[in-house]
Structure 1
Amino acid sequence: MSLEEEVETIDAIFPDSLKEIGPRRYTLSIPDRRALVQLSFPSAYPDILPEVQSTEHVDKGLVEDILAQVYMEGEVVLFSLIQEVQEVTEEISEEAEEPETHQDHDETSAEAKAAIFAGWTLSDPVVDRKSIFVAHAFTVHSAAEAEAKINHLKEDKKIARATHNITAYRILRDAEKGIYAQDCDDDGEDAAGGRLLHLLSLTGVENVVVVVARWYGGIKLGPDRFKHINAAARDALEKGGYLKK
């Protein structure tokens, strides 16, 4: 995803949150917060981390720490940055706490988040009528491991707040007989889990669990929601190298 495409996506999710102030330079208004973050994007972005040039109503060092934590080389970062700054500023009162307290709080949060997402491959966000879909893929070798990874992922506040976390896993049990351990969960999105598992079977992926988080935007999408769930899942599987050539 290019910077221009990412900006269009963020505008669809958080209208008027980005203001272009120069070539590859934007002021980001954190939704529902007073915080402003000025960012500069190098020409090699997303292969190189963007630079936090200045901030208002939020500590610059805090934003830099959050950005460094959520950034993954080659992956766009604005959506995750906005979500994390929202969460941290919700819990921290800058007027009441010293900068050292901010740093300690963020380090603890960053360590917990790093542990939760370690090893997961994330898709680019799929956005339609303010609904957001993000898929996560992880290598597993047993049903128990798959369930444990799903539960661990849901410890993240953003994932826990998703309207639905649709899951499916497919694990090779006997190569000679072609036996697989597999299961799925709709999490309230009727028939979505079965469709996701069907995608895993069609693509022939093995030893992987996929979690597609959906944040409902207030407008029903009808059958399009299944298309977006599959698109996000396929993107995560491709990025993670699970799809067979």
Structure 2
Amino acid sequence: MNEALQDEIAALNSIYGDSTLLPSPTDPPTSSIYILTLPPLDPSSPPSSSLLIQFPPSYPDVPPSTLSTHSSNPALPKGTAARDLSLFRDAITQVHTPGQVCLFDAIESFNDLLTLATSPVPSPSPSPSPPPQSQPETSLPPPPWILSAPFTELKSTFLARTCPVTSVSQAKGYLAHLLATDKKVRSATHNITAWRIRGENGTSYQDCDDDGETAAGGRLLHLMQVMDLWDVMVVVTRWYGGQKLGPRRFALINMAARDGFVRAGLVTEEKEGGRKKGR
């Protein structure tokens, strides 16, 4: 097993749960066949389906193959496993880039495709009711998060979310919504936050929160200052892997944040000799 695949397995199991991606017990280890248990859209519901994934020796230069379904929750409607298999194959095709691990992005893309496939078509209403005066965080539309790639070292995984914001109350609301609706984020070791917002009449707002990772929020805010980023927030989630990283953890936090900013189109990746610099 190559190092990129080892890191990807550790990252997926940190983010979605320890049994998300496991070797197939019925296939020889040399086959590189794994069982991927797709995480549910709703954290409170059971998993949907499990798929058999085979990684070629040249992965990630070559995409993994989604061989078949492995199992399906018996409580789910007939046809769910076949639907998930088809959607996940589409997701792999959409996200794979030669040389880049892709399962995390494929899972997120699969969830997007599944949402589209299962969303009911709204029926026209002759007299729309007025919007409620207030809504709890869980009933609001999800913030338009852009996710970084997961970064894993010594079994700790770091993942950044970035989002445009125009007010402090909006930033706080987005964070509250994330913690209220995403169990895997809520149960993480740390959720380090920073934002910079330009207000009216030349005012500006900057704030950060270490969430128990001492000095991490300030370093994250400093990164945003150096990059001259405004009207955006970032949340870097860390799942601790049991081994201390020392000062290296701050570099990984900033690496995840910067990758999120790049993916959100807020900055461009530096280049050397006409090629993108690697992480």
Give the TM-score taking structure 1 as reference length.
0.66
Deviations 1:1-43 (A, max 9, x none): xxx7752422444598358x9xxx9632248x994523589x9
Task: Give the aligned residue type for 2:33.
Answer: T
Alpha carbons 2:191, 2:210 under 8 Å: kept: yes
Matches within 5 A, 1:83-94: none
Number of aligned residue pairs: give it.
Answer: 208
Aligned partner of 2:78 in structure 1 is none
Higher-Rg structure is 2
Report deviation, 1:157: 2.1
Aligned partner of 2:229 in structure 1 is 205
Aligned partner of 2:134 in structure 1 is none
Task: Give the aligned residue type for 2:83.
Answer: G
Aligned mates of 2:153, 2:86 — CA distance in 1: 30
Alpha carbons 2:95, 2:105 under 8 Å: kept: no
Report deviation, 1:158: 2.0
Aligned partner of 2:132 in structure 1 is none
Give the TM-score taking structure 2 as reference length.
0.59
Aligned mates of 2:94, 2:188 — CA distance in 1: 21
Q: Is 1:61 equivalent to 2:93 in the alignment?
A: no
Aligned partner of 2:128 in structure 1 is none
Whichever structure has more helix as a proportion of its residues is 1
Report deviation, 1:65: 4.9
Aligned mates of 1:225, 1:232 — CA distance in 2: 11
Give unpaired runs (5+ residues) of structure 2. 38-46, 73-80, 120-137, 270-279
Deviations 1:66-109 (A, max 9, x none): 777899746854236679x9xxxxxxxxxxxxxxxxx99x958x
Percent of residue pairs identical: 36
Aligned partner of 1:144 in structure 2 is 169
Alpha carbons 1:167, 1:210 under 8 Å: kept: yes
Q: Is 1:160 equivalent to 2:189 in the alignment?
A: no
Aligned partner of 1:37 in structure 2 is 52
Report deviation, 1:222: 1.0
Report deviation, 1:196: 0.8
SS at structure 2 position matched to 1:132: strand
Alpha carbons 2:51, 2:85 under 8 Å: kept: no
Alpha carbons 1:52, 1:60 under 8 Å: kept: no
Change (3 A) 1:79 1:73: closer
